[in-house]
Structure 1
Amino acid sequence: MKALSNMSRLQVSSDYLLLLIKVYEAKGKEFYYDDLFQRDKDIFKNKVIETNAFYLGKILKFNFTEPRLKHLSKKKLVPKNKQEALFLNIKKALHNIQNYPKEFEVLANEFDDLAKLLGKDVESAKFKTIDQKKDGTLFSNGNKINGRNELEELVKLYLKQEKTKQYELIQLIANFYVDYIHLEPFTLYNDIISYIILYAFLVKDFAVFKYVSFFESFYNVFDSYIQALNQANYYYSTGYPNVDLLQRLIVDILWSSYEKMNDFVRSYSFEKKLNKGDSIESTIRNGKEIFTKEDIRLAHPTVSKITIDRTLKRLKDEGLIQPLGKGRSSKWQRIDERKRRGGQQLDIFYFTEDV
């Protein structure tokens, strides 16, 4: 517990402080998000759960294909093996956090319950018990170090530091996280638990992650995360772990998420004023020439599948687009104005450019 117990070592750079101020300014707008997205909040919640599960699955490098990972993330499927059962348990944990973000408490029992959930129908995780010699001599009576006791001490220290109100929340979370990584209190799933608990800490106080996927951003900077963790680990034994990079990484994720949220708020507000079909048409007219139905779904997460299908059919009948292939993997092509002929569907090879 060398990180949390030595918080007085921390220093904050000016650029980090400025970015942190911007994050908290953006956080102040969260009440507006809840009001704006009230009508579609369940759609956003389910979308974020799917995306979080998918990218956390990629981080953990499960031994199944990416298409299978996508299906498991999106649908209620029966697991074929223990790896899939573990992934579905992870998805359940993310679902619980997304549904009740404010209910997360920093308690040893919370960690224990998560470990039990992860091990359901897979392999049970228990608190570690380690024998330790009292004074290092061969015949001395040893003490047993219990993972639960160690975790309870860490939790107690976190709550004590939080109560002082001397430290900013991200600092507390980052230092707790590094201590937990070194503690490894369970026999299994310590890495998975650390990722999920980090997310639970953040979504409880930063509501942007109700609408934007944390694990998508985390996956995109995972190499930087490993570097940040290595830096903290290098100095850990000295009692002065350097968590600067980890703190900065978390704040960077928060800021990029708020920026993404702001962009989405603008498009969502505009879309609310439009007919949804017209909004999809605008996306198609101004987007890529070749696109998939999934591209449209990602651009318009609150629009139903039926509305998307109906709009694509209308635009096809009007000659604005044409299908390329059939089935789930089929794509669509926008037809340039000069190639359109009175709404007639065109073959992909019908027109050729002069060369």
Structure 2
Amino acid sequence: MMSFREDKLLATNVPMRIVSLISKINEYKGKQVLYNQQAPEVLNTLKNVAIIQSTRASNSLEGITIKDTRLIDIMQNKVQPANRSEGEIAGYRDVLATIHSSYDAIPVKPSILLQFHRDLYRFISLEGGSWKNSDNAIEEVYPDGSKFVRFNPVSSFATPGAIEELCKFYNQYSNSGEIDSLMLISATILDFLCIHPFCDGNGRMARLLTLLLLYKEGYEVGRFISLEQIIEESKDAYYDTLYQSSQNWHEGKHDLLIWSEYLLGIILAAYKELMDRVGKVSRARGNKAMRVEETIDHFVSNFSINDIRRRCPDISPSTINRVLAKLRDANKIEVLGIGRGAKWKKNY
């Protein structure tokens, strides 16, 4: 809420480089209807892939990982979670599905955030759905075991009121249109992370809230492209910009624009990827082998089979291996090692 008090965001002088990002994103936003009309089957494929990628990446950022085969089975509701990591994956899956299917009927208010958090932890013993009951700190742990406090969030006592105030500010400016919607979203997410309202799961909740707010402001790219995966691929910048923009937040003297520029860059990258994938998948006409080839062609450095699987989670390992063998026999790629983690190199 410190990004909104005393009209801080309203009075912010947005530099041209950020205005340019906003303009480019809005250009892509205007093409969404065209994509839906021209390539509905392609978008359906991308949607299914994005759900898996988003769930994997957002949890991976928090150190929650499971085998790809189990991930697919859990995402498709073929198996029940067998441990805490799988339970957290399943919880994220369900909240993500709720947002995708019902975003227009979901109000932005504290009780909804509590409901999302409850559902996030539905499959594990940790009790979700309540604000933190003790103060927390955002810490970085160094290899030698020492710790560095990156930020001290709002106290547990002040958290309910802070979230209530933040939701009111978001709804006020969303309804009035006084503030650009993308700047409004970035400020809301930064404040949410600075409040850090839960004992656990704040990062995942922030990314789910980002998706919800983008939907509510008319930006549908998160349905087809995983914002979480793009964030994971730039996680150093993610944490660095959060750190920089959170300094002096409690005093209302923080620099919101550092974080805003990063988040807008993520959204623009997602729209560019959507346009690229719509074109490529349309040409491939859903052919999975061709999609694997297109994915390999997109790599700018050496890659592994797991890199391909992360980008094509709906494609079977046998299909991926078949494409790799074909390209290897054609001398287009070569393997640089042995075993599952072996890297492949393009010869073109």
Query: Displacement, 1:59?
Result: 0.4
Which letter does structure 2 place at the counterpart of 1:122? S
Query: Displacement, 1:292?
Result: 8.4
Whole-Å separation in 2 of the counterparts to 1:115 and 1:89: 9
Whole-Å separation in 1 of the counterparts to 2:316 and 2:53: 18
Q: Is the 8 A contact 1:57 1:69 kept in 2?
A: no
Match of 1:160 in 2: 172
Query: Displacement, 1:299?
Result: 7.9
Whole-Å separation in 1 of the counterparts to 2:295 and 2:177: 51
Identity of aligned residues (%): 17
Q: Is the 8 A contact 2:189 2:210 kept in 1?
A: yes
Q: Identify which of structures 1 and 2 has the higher relative contact order when contacts are C-alpha pairs closer than 8 Å and 6+ apart.
A: 2
1:152-192 deviations in whole A, cap 9, x for unaligned? 22211221222332211121112222222232333443333
Q: Is the 8 A contact 1:228 1:246 kept in 2?
A: yes
Q: Which runs of 5+ in 1 are unaligned?
A: 132-143, 337-355
Q: Aligned to 2:250, what secondary structure does the other structure show?
A: helix
Number of residue equivalences: 310
Q: Aligned to 1:236, what secondary structure does the other structure show?
A: coil
Match of 1:127 in 2: 131
1:115-138 deviations in whole A, cap 9, x for unaligned? 11122232113224689xxxxxxx
Q: Is the 8 A contact 1:231 1:242 kept in 2?
A: yes
Q: Aligned to 1:159, what secondary structure does the other structure show?
A: helix
1:227-275 deviations in whole A, cap 9, x for unaligned? 2212222121322221111110111111111221222222233233xx9
Q: Are 1:151 and 2:163 an aligned pair?
A: yes
User: Aligned runs of 1:1-355 on 2, under 5 Å?
Assistant: 1-5=1-5, 6-62=8-64, 68-76=66-74, 77-120=79-122, 121-125=124-128, 126-128=130-132, 145=157, 147-204=159-216, 205-272=218-285, 276=287, 279=290, 308=319
- Check 1:191–1:256 CA distance in 2 against 1; reply closer, same or farther (3 A cut): closer
1:276-332 deviations in whole A, cap 9, x for unaligned? 4895798699899x9988788788788x769959x86xx79xx869xx9xxx9699x
Query: Displacement, 1:114?
Result: 0.8
Q: Is the 8 A contact 2:281 2:291 kept in 1?
A: no
Whole-Å separation in 2 of the counterparts to 1:282 and 1:233: 42
Whole-Å separation in 2 of the counterparts to 1:129 and 1:252: 35
TM-score, L = length of structure 2: 0.73
- Compute the RMSD of aligned alpha carbons: 4.1
Q: Is the 8 A contact 2:292 2:312 kept in 1?
A: no
Q: Is the 8 A contact 1:9 1:240 kept in 2?
A: no
Q: Aligned to 1:100, what secondary structure does the other structure show?
A: helix
Q: Is the 8 A contact 1:86 1:118 kept in 2?
A: yes
Whole-Å separation in 2 of the counterparts to 1:250 and 1:284: 25
Whole-Å separation in 2 of the counterparts to 1:49 and 1:286: 23
Query: Displacement, 1:71?
Result: 3.1
Query: Displacement, 1:98?
Result: 3.0
Match of 2:153 in 1: none
TM-score, L = length of structure 1: 0.72
Whole-Å separation in 2 of the counterparts to 1:232 and 1:173: 15
- Check 1:287–1:191 CA distance in 2 against 1; reply closer, same or farther (3 A cut): closer
Q: Is the 8 A contact 1:43 1:301 kept in 2?
A: no
